[in-house]
Amino acid sequence: MNYTGVFPILATPFNEDGSIDLDSFDRLVGFMGDLGVDGITILGVLGESNRMLDKERESLIARAVAVTKGRTRVIVGASHPGTQAAIGLCRMAEDLGADAVMIAPSAEPVPNEGRVFEYFQKVAAAVTIPIVAQDHPASTQVHMSVPLLLRLIAEIPGIACIKEEAPPTPVRIAALKQGMQARRVPLLTGLGALYGFFDLMAGADGFNTGFAFPEVLMAIERAARGGDQDECYRLYAKYLPLIVFEQQPGVAVRKELLRMRGLLRSAHVRHPGAAIGETAARQLREIVERVLPGVDITRPIQA
């Protein structure tokens, strides 16, 4: 697998009673495939993976693989505080036909980078599909140094990509690009594309994030890859109000926007997560109308 391009993180749709809405999930997966994204990631932070039962995870993975039919690559979030449990989640994804897994370390009472390295090493030794190593201290409370990330790349062949989400991301991406010597892997940026332009200019190879307009990210990445910095910046600046508004804590805003796009039947967030409030929903509608006046957002937009 070549981990360059755009790999959207998918939300997990729920019915109002909290059960999984598989029809909306099918629609969401199919929409991404029709856009021509380079792959999808399910059961990430946006996918509310920490609120899932194992049997629900199994159902979603199997469904994603069945719907994509090999047309779109499927990456499965499989992080867990316990190494053995993470291995079990990764093996589940592998057995069900996933193309790769994404894992991140969990905080320990006494931070220890050696233990973090062992976590990735042990998981990689237990599976045959590639690993996307996620560096996202906002959710993990683990701060991985650049030397540690370079060691992961150099010493663990199973790690095929780094998802860099530790601010300042442009600085870290540039340092990783410079530091990779014997072995190089793609670097993807996340954080809702908040620093997307700057990350691409620093050398990021694409996006792995949940912004509700992945076709916009595709256009931004395409401009960057083609060396058109002005067009890349123009697109980034145009959609920045939406990017910023989406990047509020929780997943409610993004799920509501996906509902507005006709991809989710409901924007329900599993408890204890909170649904979008009335004020935020009104502001979101106003921002969409300002950024995309008169545009039917239920259809793929021309960025």
Catalytic residues: 163
Give strand pairing partners of 159.
131
Name the amino acid, one letter, at 257. Answer: L
Beta strands at 131-135 and 40-42: parallel, antiparallel or unpaired: unpaired
Report the candidate in 89, 62, 13 with the shortest Cα–Cα distance to residue 269: 13
Q: How far apart are CA 160 and CA 91, in angstroms?
A: 17
Beta strands at 187-189 and 40-42: parallel, antiparallel or unpaired: unpaired
Q: How far apart are CA 276 and CA 179, in angstroms?
A: 42
Beta carbons within 10 angstroms of residue 9's beta carbon? 26
E strand intervals along the chain: 5-6, 40-42, 74-77, 100-103, 131-135, 159-164, 187-189, 206-207
SS percent in the chain: helix, strand, coil, step 5: 50, 10, 40
In angstroms, the Cα distances linking 190 to 127, 156, 161, 172, 280 are: 25, 22, 13, 13, 23
Give strand pairing partners of 189.
164, 207
Q: How far apart are CA 159 and CA 260, in angstroms?
A: 36
**Token pair 């920045």: residue:** 240
Beta carbons within 10 angstroms of residue 212's beta carbon? 24
